[in-house]
Amino acid sequence: MVHDPQAPAADGRRRLRLRADCSSCFGLCCAALPFSVSADFPVDKAAGQPCTHLQQDYGCGIHARLRDKGYRGCSVFDCFGAGQQVSQVTFEGRSWREDAGTARSMFGAFAVMRQLHELLWYLDEARGLATSAPIDAHLREVQQEAERLARADAAELAAADPSALRESAKPLLRRASALAREPEPGRDRAGADLMGAKLRGADLRGADLRGAYLIAADLRGADLRRADLLGADLRDARLAGADLTGALFLTQPQANAARGDAATRLPAPLERPDHW
């Protein structure tokens, strides 16, 4: 019997399962996704074309040297566990290499599943906030539909519209953020252009930085506790010594894209990137 990591947990909290397990995936991100020559990639690759560094065992031949080899985009990416879900549950362990007829549908399912899993990450975090009690029933309703789709077969996934679910979740996540920051709401900088901003040591506790452009911003030593960072662009943001304890809706890809150090404090369950 194939284990379904999306099967509802007893407490409804599965954030640790919404993490990439490359050992249980058929290298889907390395084959399904396209990339172009840029600061993040040294070559072009079309969607559906396996990366030249993808090994027969689906491991990456340069995983320990991705940044040195120019594959910075790979070191930032995280599928939120969509890869193993599609590989081991949706397609029941059938690889796109071994069953060529599954490649197109598997790659399509992966694109949809990643959106669902990212949404489940946010919903699970929102439901884990004690302050979200007034809207928990509504959050649970959207979460259950996302979970149902994540367990669907390839045909239903292909016809699914994750954007509709995301739109349903958007006001709920915004409300969850407001409730969590209500005791001491910080400045509203949602969507602000803060590229390269000098914010060293800034008090940004409880700030709404949702969708803010913080590319290369100097946030060294900044206090970002309880700040809402949903969708904030943290590429090359300097987070050395910054305190992000309890930061809301921060994801592993955002942390991976930033530049922190051993003194940077991250919210659980995020891991400190190897390149920091």
Taken in order of first residue, the domains within the chain and their CATH numbers are: 15-179 (no CATH), 186-268 (2.160.20.80)
Query: Is residue 106 within 8 Å of 91, Cβ to Cβ?
Result: yes
Question: Measuring CA to CA, which residue among 85, 98, 70 is closest to residue 21?
Answer: 85
CA distance 87 to 79: 12
Say what the pTM is: 0.91
State residue 100's pLDDT score: 77
In Å, what is the CA distance from 241 to each residue of 149, 201, 251, 255? 40, 9, 18, 14
Tens place of pLDDT per residue across the chain (276 aa): 344 434 444 344 567 679 999 999 999 999 999 999 999 999 999 999 999 999 999 999 999 999 999 999 999 999 999 999 999 999 999 999 988 789 999 999 999 999 999 999 999 999 999 999 999 999 999 999 999 999 999 999 988 989 999 999 999 999 999 999 998 788 899 999 999 999 999 999 999 999 999 999 999 999 999 999 999 999 999 999 999 999 999 999 999 999 999 999 999 889 999 999
CA distance 269 to 202: 24
| Cβ neighbours of residue 222 closer than 8 Å, sequence gap 6 or more | 199, 200, 201, 202, 203, 204, 239, 242, 243
State residue 12's pLDDT score: 41
State residue 166's pLDDT score: 96
State residue 17's pLDDT score: 78
